[in-house]
Amino acid sequence: MGIRLVGIGLGLGLLIASGSGAAPTAPKAPTAPKAIELSPVASVSDRQSAEDADSTASVPELCPMAPTDPPGVQQQLTTWIRQLSLSSQAQMSFWQSTLAAYLQPAVWPELHARSRLAKVPVMMYHDVLPEQEIFFDRTQAQLEADFRMIRDNGLTPISLDQLVAHLRTGVPLPPKPIVLTFDDGYASHYDYVYPLLKRYRYPGAFSVFTDKLDGKIIGRSTLTWEQLQEMADHPLITVVSHSVTHPSDLRTLSDTDLRYELEASQRRLNNKLEMPIRYFTYPEGNHDERVVAAAEAADYVAGFVMNNVSGDYAGSSADLLAIERFGMDRLAEVAEAAWGGPPLPGTAPALTFDAPIQRMELEIDDVPLTLIAGGRPQTIHAKSRYSVAEIVADTEVVAAVDGAFFSLEYLDSNTMIGPVMSQNTGKFVPSDPGDVNKLEGRPLVLIGPQTVQFVAFEPAKHNTLAGIQQVMPEVTDVFVGAAWLVREQEAQTAATFKNLFAFDALRHRAFWGINQWGQPVVGVSHARIDSVSLSRMLAQLGFQAAVMLDSGASTSLVYKGASLMGFESRPVPHVVALTPPDACQTAQ
């Protein structure tokens, strides 16, 4: 496997996967799928024609953090670099981890275990028309609305090469990745889809069957070879083989006919476009072990299946030769859950309060988790005990989880266990003297306008505002968490929970912390779990730090005003909340 290091302005190098696979080369057989192809970073904008550049003028002005830059590999680099600490130690750790990931891919065609944690939707479209004629058509207005929704919700379209590199190595993608694919080579793909992709600067993949391009099969409309060549030469576009004749079910063909459909289409595209064709889309998604073996024998690197009704995320695929896709009508549903996966071990991006707020539903070891990440963290200390939804009603809060432990002596008491200070009151309340020494070593959470700190609580130092301001002069929020779940990116052992009551019991759990992208996160488990197991899960998901909050009957998570729990939670006096960085950045 060849390795190429590319300079990126900081005086460092980065190992990357190729961007679109579309740069013209001399005709050659496809690269053997056992290696990962690597190529230099090239800005899409630098390679666009003047006509393409002019076409971007009609795109509305976006929010400052929206993906206005070309969302290919360059976008991925920008995202990674922005979120890294500026210290040389953090930078070197990041590059070393990335290099190590590329040097240790999963055995082809298996998926890397880390990529199976991600949720990358691969969307499938067909013809795009002014008016819908059959159920899998998309109207032009609908497709543009889809692109706007992708943009407005902070998703980043990526190329097939980026997807496959991620699936093989587990290298994380941008926080909300998505892949756009278009099947069957309709005229609308050149007339409408291709200009729209250029306008939004979104990568796209087009699956074509060669007899249609050669005029041997007459359909409702078709691309020409000249149009396909122009598209293939553009850095945003990947061309995918879709067979010769588009048989409805490859499984019914003889071995000879099956080889012909896979290999002859590949050769024809190789020769006409003068570039290797590395990917195959199974007509109507039909495949079995014999068909997949034929795709492997033809040296395809990856294959794509389809199901208009069900579908699944790429990380749930059987392997690289059967990558799952979603039908276009599932876009709104899957976009909210899109997630680029956990970080590489050893990377710790800098804290950010500028990310849009997004909700993620995950399941690890049969334990469902809801994580809500992004925005700006704050706490609310209520005057009495209420449901979390009642506490955040009529505020700017998008998401909130129940907060720190509180005294159960009186039903309406808001007395907390440990010192507390919240932005809504601006008042520091010290811990009761009878509790303070029991809290030694537990995580003291400090939130300021631009930072968050987790420090070990010291009763002699941290039970006064003056003592806490020595740690964080501009502190706005203070509370003591139940226990560390993740500390300096490490899961915690049973011994670290010390005197915490029932840490090993199976309970619903609430938590908050900082994720792999440096974003604040609130979350809960929807199944009963012990603290050590939850700790391992959150570390696996790449949390830099995570603190357990009041759990059990108090466990509560609210998103956009609605409880996400399947039971009525106990009223509480304290919550940890996320507010939007600004109105235009909050995911809808």
pLDDT for the residue numbered 582: 66
Entry field: residues in the chain = 588
Residue 588 has pLDDT above 60, yes or no: no
Mean pLDDT of 199-225: 96
250 in Cβ contact with 258 (< 8 Å):
yes
Among 50-54, 113-117, 476-480, the range scoring the smallest mean pLDDT is 50-54
Residue with tokens 């003592």: 467
**DSSP-derived pairing of the beta strands 13-14 and 6-7:** antiparallel
Q: Quick one: pLDDT band at residue 348, thresholds 50, 70, 90?
A: low
CA distance 291 to 217: 23
Among 289-303, 330-344, 478-492, the range scoring the smallest mean pLDDT is 330-344
Q: How many other C-beta atoms can be found within 10 angstroms of the C-beta atom of residue 427? A: 10
Residue 1 has pLDDT above 80, yes or no: no
Which domains does the chain carry?
Answer: 6-22+88-337 (3.20.20.370), 358-585 (no CATH)
HSE, side-chain direction, 13 A CA sphere, residue 15: 22
Written as one string, the DSSP assignment of 43-101 is -HHHHS-HHHHHHGGGSPPPPTTS--S-TTHHHHHHHHHHHS-SSHHHHHHHHHHHHHH
Give the chain's mean pLDDT. 84
pLDDT for the residue numbered 462: 96
pLDDT for the residue numbered 90: 44
Write the Ramachandran bin of 430: left for phi over 0, alpha for psi from -120 to 50, otherwise beta: beta
515-560, pLDDT tens digit by residue?
988 899 999 999 999 999 999 999 988 899 999 999 999 999 999 9
What pTM does this model have?
Answer: 0.65
Q: Quick one: pLDDT band at residue 72, thresholds 50, 70, 90?
A: very low
Q: How many other C-beta atoms can be found within 10 angstroms of the C-beta atom of residue 474? A: 11
Mean pLDDT of 54-73: 35
Phi/psi of residue 552, each to 5°?
A: 65, -130
pLDDT for the residue numbered 500: 85
Residue 304 has pLDDT above 50, yes or no: yes
Local structure of residue 482 (DSSP, 8 states): S
Mean pLDDT of 205-209: 99
**DSSP-derived pairing of the beta strands 510-514 and 545-548:** antiparallel
pLDDT for the residue numbered 533: 96
231-290, pLDDT tens digit by residue?
999 999 999 999 999 999 999 999 999 999 999 999 999 999 999 999 999 999 999 999
Mean pLDDT of 458-478: 96
pLDDT for the residue numbered 346: 64
141-199, pLDDT tens digit by residue?
999 999 999 999 999 999 999 999 999 999 888 889 999 999 999 999 999 999 999 99
pLDDT for the residue numbered 53: 40
* Closest-CA residue to 403 (of 525, 539, 512): 512
